[in-house]
């Protein structure tokens, strides 16, 4: 079965073709960074308009590039939520309409399920059951995964998501949008000894997270230390050292909770996914900890950590193979708990 996947939930247009026998045949991502950069964050209306402009040409380009004819496509998967409603509606309307025109089934995919299953696109992929840490711009969740669609929420952020905290901290340090990757790049040359930030909610039992206080801690440090700095180089160093302290605190907190979660779930396998899983220090620390405990960590290649069409095509393929599909009516769900999804029995 050959599935076209369409992702338009936020500020990237992603399209991909995934086949049940041959795997991923191709994918394309168009990033809206240039559009939103001057506003310092995603402007929802501009995001929707750009998806309207880019989605169909990107699909045409993908078909041309892979040499696939539209008659060969057996199903269409589009991101149905969660995300920005206008942005979601573009992909959902295009995906549902193409499926109708081609007389093939369509399925609305949960964006975070897409992220969660993205490591399955790699050659070395995890087996069920496992614990997943989903860390993106909108979510920070620990989930016990028994199979596709069989998810138990173990813990989540009570306020900001980890990616959101990265972005907000980057912004207050004066770094350009998109802040998270920029802050991570800066942190690489930071002095880990200069500042120590708190590891929120690690001193009590449980698997929930809180990252909003960390952002305030960064702001207070930045403002109080900045006053004593009188040249550009020292200011840049201060920014770099705060970035390092912030990243270390987030990574440490995530690692501590991941260890707890795999113990609690009696799991040996941990999957990292979502935009923040592109973070080098997080990947490295999780790998080390799991290796020490006789377990194994899996994560997608960096381009499949952030939003892309490949993960949507893959997740949609699993559901279409299990004969799950939408009627002609379609919906966009800006909020959509992943635990509401139906199980998929595979193999
Ligand atoms: O999964 P994603 O592309 O979109 C959402 O579903 O939210 O995640 C985007 C988030 C942003 O907050 C971005 O700052 C963060 O992932 N991110 C990173 C890195 N790359 C992306 N955060 C820390 N380090 C990175 N290298
Ligand atoms: Zn995402």
pLDDT tens sequence across 311-344? 999 999 999 999 999 999 889 999 999 999 999 9
The Å distance, Cα 310 to ligand 2 centre, comes to 12
Provide the H-helix boundaries in the chain. 33-37, 44-66, 85-102, 111-117, 162-172, 179-187, 212-226, 232-264, 280-292, 309-321
pLDDT in tens, 215-261: 999 999 999 999 999 899 999 999 999 999 999 999 999 999 999 99
Ligand 1 neighbour 278 (Cβ under 6 A): yes
> In the prediction, which pLDDT does 205 show?
95
Averaged pLDDT for residues 251-274? 97
Strand arrangement of the beta sheet that strand 269-273 belongs to:
150-156, 140-147, 130-135, 269-273, 296-298
> In the prediction, which pLDDT does 330 show?
87
pLDDT in tens, 82-98: 999 999 999 999 999 99
Q: Indicate the helix (H) or strand (E) that contains 77.
A: strand 75-81
Averaged pLDDT for residues 285-312? 96
Atom of ligand 1 nearest to the CA of 307: 3
Between CA 299 and CA 116 the distance in angstroms is 9
> In the prediction, which pLDDT does 208 show?
98
Ligand 1 neighbour 82 (Cβ under 6 A): no
Pairing between β-strand 296-298 and β-strand 269-273 as defined by DSSP bridges:
parallel
The Å distance, Cα 193 to ligand 2 centre, comes to 32
> Is 284 a residue whose pLDDT tops 90?
yes
Between CA 131 and CA 155 the distance in angstroms is 11
pLDDT in tens, 45-57: 999 999 999 999 9
Closest C-alpha among 132, 25, 111, 109 to residue 307: 111
> In the prediction, which pLDDT does 347 show?
53
The Å distance, Cα 305 to ligand 2 centre, comes to 8
The percentage of the chain sitting over the pLDDT mark of 70, rounded to a whole number, equals 99
Pairing between β-strand 2-7 and β-strand 12-19 as defined by DSSP bridges:
antiparallel
The Å distance, Cα 194 to ligand 2 centre, comes to 33
Looking from the CA of 17 toward its CB, the CA atoms found within 13 Å total: 22
Dig out the tokens for 76 from the structure. Answer: 């269409």
Ligand 1 neighbour 105 (Cβ under 6 A): no
- pLDDT band for position 20 (50/70/90)? very high
What predicted TM-score, i.e. pTM, was given to this entire model? Answer: 0.97
The Å distance, Cα 274 to ligand 1 centre, comes to 7
> In the prediction, which pLDDT does 345 show?
79
The Å distance, Cα 236 to ligand 2 centre, comes to 30
Ligand 1 neighbour 166 (Cβ under 6 A): yes
CA of residue 330 relative to chain centroid, distance: 24
Ligand 1 neighbour 8 (Cβ under 6 A): no
**Average model confidence (pLDDT) across the chain:** 97
> In the prediction, which pLDDT does 346 show?
62
Atom of ligand 1 nearest to the CA of 250: 23
Q: Which ligand is nearest to the CA of 278?
A: 1
Atom of ligand 1 nearest to the CA of 184: 24
> In the prediction, which pLDDT does 92 show?
98
For ligand 1, pick from 32, 33, 119, 137 the residue to mutate: most ligand atoms within 8 Å of CB. Answer: 137
């Amino acid at each position: 079965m050959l599935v076209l996947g369409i992702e338009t939930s936020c500020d990237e247009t992603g399209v991909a073709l995934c086949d049940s026998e041959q795997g991923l045949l191709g994918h394309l991502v168009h990033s809206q960074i240039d559009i939103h950069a001057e506003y310092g964050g995603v402007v929802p209306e501009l995001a929707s308009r750009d998806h309207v402009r880019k989605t169909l040409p990107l699909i045409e380009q993908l078909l041309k590039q892979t040499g696939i004819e539209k008659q060969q496509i057996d199903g269409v998967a589009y991101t149905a939520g969660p995300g920005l409603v206008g942005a979601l509606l573009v992909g959902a309307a295009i995906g549902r309409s193409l499926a109708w025109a081609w007389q093939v089934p369509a399925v609305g995919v949960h964006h975070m399920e897409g992220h969660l299953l993205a490591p399955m696109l790699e050659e070395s992929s995890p087996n069920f059951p496992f614990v997943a840490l989903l860390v993106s711009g909108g979510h920070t969740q620990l989930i016990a995964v028994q199979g596709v669609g069989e998810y138990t929420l173990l813990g989540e952020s009570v306020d900001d998501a980890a990616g959101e905290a990265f972005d907000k901290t980057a912004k207050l340090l004066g770094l350009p949008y998109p802040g998270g990757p920029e802050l991570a790049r800066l942190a690489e040359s930071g002095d880990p000894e200069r500042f120590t930030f708190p590891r929120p909610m690690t001193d009590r039992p449980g698997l929930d997270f809180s990252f909003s206080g960390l952002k305030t801690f960064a702001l207070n440090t930045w403002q109080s230390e900045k006053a004593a700095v009188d040249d550009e180089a020292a200011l840049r160093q201060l920014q770099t050292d705060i970035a390092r302290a912030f990243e270390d605190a987030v990574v440490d907190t995530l690692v501590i909770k991941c260890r707890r979660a795999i113990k609690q779930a009696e799991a040996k396998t941990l999957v990292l996914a979502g935009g923040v899983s592109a973070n080098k220090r997080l990947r490295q620390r999780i790998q080390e900890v799991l290796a020490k405990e006789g377990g194994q960590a899996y994560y997608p290649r960096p381009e499949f950590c952030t939003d892309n069409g490949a993960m949507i095509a893959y997740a949609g393929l699993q559901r279409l193979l299990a004969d799950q599909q939408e009627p002609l009516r379609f919906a966009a769900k800006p909020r959509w708990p992943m635990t509401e999804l139906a199980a998929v029995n595979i193999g």
